[in-house]
Structure formats: C-alpha cells, structure tokens
Amino acid sequence: MAEAPARSLLLLRHGQTDWNLTRRIQGHADAELNDLGHAQAVAVADQLAALRPGLLWTSDLSRAATTAAYVAKACGLEPVEDARLREYSLGPREGLLHSDYAVAHPEEFATFRSGHFDIVPGGEKTPEVAARMSAALGDLLDLTPPGGVSVAVSHGAALKVAIATLLG
C-alpha cells in the first residue's frame, strides 16, 4: 500500500514590534508591529504564497494576527485565531524594559535571559506552554490534508518550546 503524501506545517514568528526593538518584555501584552515588522510580514507573505498553503492559524495577539493578515491576503486564506498560539504569559514582568528588569531583579533576570522563563513569578510555566502549543499545532496538522501545507503564526519563545516538545 502506498503511503499518503507528507503534510507540511510551517511555523512563523510575527514581525518586529517597537517592544522587540527596545527590549521590552511582551508576553501577552498586545504590542503592534512597527514599520519594519509590517515590511517583514509583506516579504514573508510573498514567499509563503509560492508554497500555496491551505490553512492559516494565528495567535490572537495583534502582532501575530497582523502578520497573519498579510499572509492571508497573499495566499487567499482566512486566518483562524487561536489563543493557544500565544506567547508565554510573563505576568508582572510584561511591559518592563530588560534594563529595568535587570536592575530590579538581577538574579531572576539572568535566569530569564538564559531562556528559563519559569523563574518569572506569576508567569506561565514551560509545561503549560508546551501543552497548549503542541495541542494547537497538532490540531492544525490533523486538519492539513495529505500533501498539504499549513501555516501557524506565533511567537518566538512559544515556538521554541513547541519545536523542542514536538521533536521530543
């Protein structure tokens, strides 16, 4: 019996925001794309259109949803917002500049900067992010037909956790 053609899932991080540029912690805070972020979204949308994706899911945070809107326009798709594709919730640290965080909580900040976000009090823990991201991406992949391509627009740290989790 012949195997079904492989399905492809493309993971895309949102375009740049002023908060990225100024090193302000975003998490679930709803920062908009800046001019470069819009240009990045346009450029990637044109590249993705050539791959003819059939499904497009996005985080409901505006920086991801706006990026997805460019992809949707280029690909003729309707984006589906899914809150499971959000970035880590970073609780009371959201909105802080890295420099202010480093002064206020130097040891915690050093751990945070090393990629260990579980240190943030009141923030989301890595197993929670891994579970919700894996579930969302699994659902999207399940809807992707054999030979098909789907796109998920999300956030840097959440995507890193999802990739590591999915690859085991």
Give pLDDT tens digits for 94-153: 999 999 999 999 999 999 999 999 999 999 999 999 999 999 999 999 999 999 999 999
Q: What percent of the chain clears pLDDT 70, i.e. is strictly above it?
A: 99
Confidence tier at 59 by pLDDT (50, 70, 90): very high
Pairing of strands 55-58, 80-81: parallel
User: Does residue 105 have an active-site annotation?
Assistant: no
CA distance between the termini of the chain = 29
Give pLDDT, residue 5: 86
Which of 28, 87, 94, 155 is an active site residue?
87
**Nearest residue to 32 (alpha-carbon basis) of 63, 59, 61, 60:** 63
Confidence tier at 154 by pLDDT (50, 70, 90): very high
User: Does residue 14 have an active-site annotation?
Assistant: yes
Which of 14, 28, 124, 155 is an active site residue?
14
Q: Is the Cα dihedral 81, 69, 157, 25 positive or negative?
A: negative
Global pTM reads 0.95
